[in-house]
Structure 1
Amino acid sequence: MTTPNSIENLACERAWVEINPTALAHNIRAFQSLLRPDTILMAVIKADAYGHGAVRVAQWAGQLGVHYFGVATIPEGIELREAGIIQPIMLLGAAQSRSQVEAIAQWQLEPTLCTPEQALLFSKVLSEPLLVHLKIDTGMARLGYPWQQGEEFVKQVWNLPRLKIGSVYSHLATADAPDPSFMKEQQRRFEQAIERSKAMGVTIPALHLSNSAGTLHSQVFHYDMVRVGLSLYGIYPGPQFKEEIPLEPVMQVRARITQVKNLAAGVGVSYNHRFITPSEMQVAVVGIGYADGVPRNLSNYMEVLLRGQRVKQLGTITMDQIMIDVSGMPEVQVGEVVTLLGCDGDNTILAEEWADLLGTIPYEIACGFQQRLPRVWIE
């Protein structure tokens, strides 16, 4: 139970992130409808579900028929288990120490194995059988055993005590690019490693290759499971996929106006006066800044929504506050809500817009919103 002066309520007086479970449900069902009947959906909820709140997302997704979750780190998996999540949780990152192996076993997580040394460590430390997933590097040059000798690695793990192969998988490096040629080459390498493994007598229960982009590209990349991350939250991996599936943004970021002031011409705004008022202006201070996840490099470039209209941000974005131009808006009041990402009236600002301004990807934008912004679930 919260009181009017509780931490939860007070936190939302400044700035907050709204999460729309209806939009999340829509996106999950949209992806489920793309899959073959024998393909299952893994919801990747690493990095606090890309900034959306991993526990609540997992609880809601589980009710919608999602039977597998993916995380990057052991603490992320433990957080889900402590919250009562009972579905299989696959650890997509590497584990290299005895203590990590013991924690994985204790919390019933399913690790990714990438090297023979890692597999030997798990086999030595474990006292009970554990389901493991083997990663083959087919062209990402990140985690994974080289595909050219992939069958040797698979066979070695197959022969080790206490290790039960749950799946073999790889990761697509260029699935979000317009040219699919290297993605197809990765698929060829993956299938070659799998066929060689099977020829050595290894039984592989499941295969998976696709991230969000690969899943949207074609069913030929789906196999037994797909790993969908940010697109579950309504963000496309590339503009070319917008015709494939209708997605709805799940996250909206809002903050309140904390002061309104009238400035004369020639007044410098914020640090280093990177904006000088060209004439008399009305400026509002908004209670959100780069410590909350608003990229400082958007200074003087970004726009926000107020009363359904786009207004410009002025000067350097500071740690806890930004300034916006509200000139010409009648009687702007302290406490009015400003939308940084999301919808207000007929206008919308998406994470993709910020990403384009910064020359980055929307994944980075969504993951950047910090924990001091409370997540508020709305209908």
Structure 2
Amino acid sequence: MRFTGRPTFAIIDRVAIRSNFLQIKKNVDKGVDILAVVKANAYGHGAVETAKTLEQSGCRFFGVAICEEGVELRKAGIKSSIIVLGGVYPNQTREIIKYNLTPVIFDGETARILNNFLKKADKKIKVHIKIDTGMGRLGLLPEEIEPFFNKLKGLANLEVEGILSHFAEADEEDKGFSKKQLAIFLKAIKVIQRLGFKPRFQHIANSAALLEYNPSHFNMVRPGIMLYGAYPALRMKEQIRLKPVMRLVTNIVQLKDMPKGFSVSYGRKYVAKKRSIIAAIPIGYGDGYPRSLSGKGEVLVRGKRVRVAGTICMDITMLDVTHIKGVSVGDEAVIIGKQGNDEIKVDELAEKAGTIPYEILCGITSRIPRVYPVRNF
């Protein structure tokens, strides 16, 4: 592909997004809806284009973290249901109505304010109620459920469409705590039903639970990281075949023939032990390439792995390309993705950086353009 300007891009494979979605569908029973999580700019892949691709592939439910993300999708023409998983704030009631968003609610005051506004506007909206079964983040605690829903009976402008919770360690092989959470969730559903509510959806399963904990599927699941071709845990590669979606690439912009003893970058962490060829590529921690990969990250050049030389800078990273025959300015450098017979996957990058694939993908900043090659589905 030919680009103008800085040659650093995230190339997004929409065919892979569709393939991953269809693979996920095969892993759940018929009648189980998929709520595709596209929060945080679709885990760094571009929320609008990702949602469009998924909607064209048959997805009818999307999950975002904040109201603003839902508004962005509506303005881009997304018609499917959009659930605001992180809740809403009192000053966002107009946007919720205007853009037909489905808020998650987990406290009585927000419910009351939202209902009062809706009553004055003569409107009703669907909501999902979150239960904290052990995550310790957002949601009603078990002892708060009955008082909350008793008050909710008087808020006629809110229709409870769904009940949800979130697993704390579904990616662990030991499902002991997940089983405890599921038991609490099941009990909560019974209490809610006894109080006269009949929510259409119950959902608690994330990507890991979707693969390894079938009893938690209910009638809706919420895959996130798997849509983008990464795994909640490496052992899960044997359970579903996913295609990596992002290829993060740039070009070599300068080569230097450095003598023995010459140092590279801040702190002089790299000193040439022999005459060396050092390449500079225009990507750095300002783009989301973790500084923690200094001296240990690898990049593909001419189909071979080269090591990051010295400290990663905000805008530039240096590579030791001494062993690469014919290396030239303008050569492609692959940070994530395939080149030749080798591939650097986001899981590998995350492990070396001491973090998780989620953080790597979400951390790729907005100054790296996302490119969507035109390909038929």
Contact 1:14–1:288 (CA under 8 A) maintained in structure 2:
no
* 1:50 paired residue number: 43
Q: Aligned pair 1:96/2:89, yes or no?
A: yes
* 2:71 paired residue number: 78
1:257 pairs with one of 248, 252, 258 = 252
Q: Distance in 1 between matches of 2:209 and 2:150?
A: 27
* 2:25 paired residue number: 32
Amino acid at match of 1:228: P
Q: Distance in 2 between matches of 1:375 and 1:155?
A: 47
Q: Distance in 2 between matches of 1:154 and 1:232?
A: 34
Q: Distance in 2 between matches of 1:205 and 1:21?
A: 31
Contact 1:134–1:154 (CA under 8 A) maintained in structure 2:
no
> What stretches of structure 2 of length at least 5 have no aligned partner?
none
Residues 73-101 of structure 1, C-alpha deviations (whole Å, 9 max, x = no match): 1111111011011111000112232x211
SS in structure 1 of the partner of residue 168 of structure 2: coil
TM-score of the superposition, structure 2-length normalised? 0.96
1:377 pairs with one of 353, 356, 372 = 372
Residue 224 of structure 1: how far off its partner (Å): 1.3
1:105 pairs with one of 97, 108, 130 = 97
Which moves more between the two structures, 149-158 or 351-360? Answer: 149-158
1:150 pairs with one of 133, 141, 145 = 145
Residue 316 of structure 1: how far off its partner (Å): 0.7
Residue 325 of structure 1: how far off its partner (Å): 1.0
Residues 35-70 of structure 1, C-alpha deviations (whole Å, 9 max, x = no match): 111100011000000000000001010011000001
2:107 pairs with one of 112, 115, 122 = 115
2:7 pairs with one of 9, 14, 17 = 14
Contact 2:302–2:324 (CA under 8 A) maintained in structure 1:
no
* 2:230 paired residue number: 235
* 1:66 paired residue number: 59
Contact 2:163–2:201 (CA under 8 A) maintained in structure 1:
yes
SS in structure 2 of the partner of residue 252 of structure 1: strand
Q: Distance in 2 between matches of 1:170 and 1:16?
A: 36
Residue 14 of structure 1: how far off its partner (Å): 1.9
TM-score of the superposition, structure 1-length normalised? 0.95
CA RMSD of aligned residues (A): 1.3
Q: Distance in 2 between matches of 1:347 and 1:239?
A: 18
Residue 10 of structure 1: how far off its partner (Å): 2.2
Match runs of 1:313-352 below 5 Å? 313-352=308-347
Match runs of 1:198-213 below 5 Å? 198-213=193-208
Q: Distance in 1 between matches of 2:126 and 2:347?
A: 38
Residue 152 of structure 1: how far off its partner (Å): 3.1
Residues 155-184 of structure 1, C-alpha deviations (whole Å, 9 max, x = no match): 432431210111011011110111101101
Residues 341-360 of structure 1, C-alpha deviations (whole Å, 9 max, x = no match): 11111111111112212221
2:268 pairs with one of 265, 273, 281 = 273
Q: Distance in 1 between matches of 2:274 and 2:252?
A: 22
Amino acid at match of 2:164: Y
Q: Distance in 2 between matches of 1:188 and 1:148?
A: 15
1:124 pairs with one of 91, 100, 116 = 116
Contact 1:149–1:193 (CA under 8 A) maintained in structure 2:
no
Residues 176-230 of structure 1, C-alpha deviations (whole Å, 9 max, x = no match): 1111011011000000011112122222221111111111113211111111111
Identity score, percent: 38
